[in-house]
Amino acid sequence: MSIRLEHVNYVYSSGTAYEKHAVKDLNITIESGEFIGIIGHTGSGKSTLTQLLNGLIKATDGHIYYNDKSIYDKKFDMRQLRGQVGLVFQYPEHQLFETSIIRDVSFGPANMGLAKDEIEKRAKMALMQVGIGEDLFEASPFELSGGQRRRAAIAGVLAMEPSYLILDEPTAGLDPKGREEILELIRWLHETRHITVLLVSHSMEDVAEYVNRIIVMNHGQIAFDGVPKEVFKNYRELEKIGLAAPQVTYVMNQLKDNGFQVETDAVTVEEAYEAIKVWARKEGVIL
pLDDT tens column, 235-253: 999 999 999 999 999 999 9
CB 105 within 8 A of CB 127: yes
- In the sheet that 20-31 helps form, which strands lie side by side, from edge to edge? 20-31, 2-12, 61-66, 69-70
**Whole-number Cα distances in Å, 166 to 35, 54, 195, 226, 271:** 10, 9, 10, 18, 27
Q: Which CATH number fits domain 2-226: 3.30.70.20, 3.40.250.10, 3.40.50.1370, 3.40.50.300?
A: 3.40.50.300
> What is the maximal distance between C-alpha atoms in the chain?
68
What pTM was computed for the model? 0.90
Q: What pLDDT band is residue 113 in, cutting at 50, 70 and 90?
A: confident
> CB burial class (10 A; 0-12, 13-18, 19+) of residue 284?
exposed
How far apart are the two ends of the chain, measured CA to CA in Å?
A: 47
Q: What is the pLDDT of residues 193-250, one digit of tens each?
A: 999 999 999 899 999 999 999 999 999 999 999 999 999 999 999 999 999 999 999 9
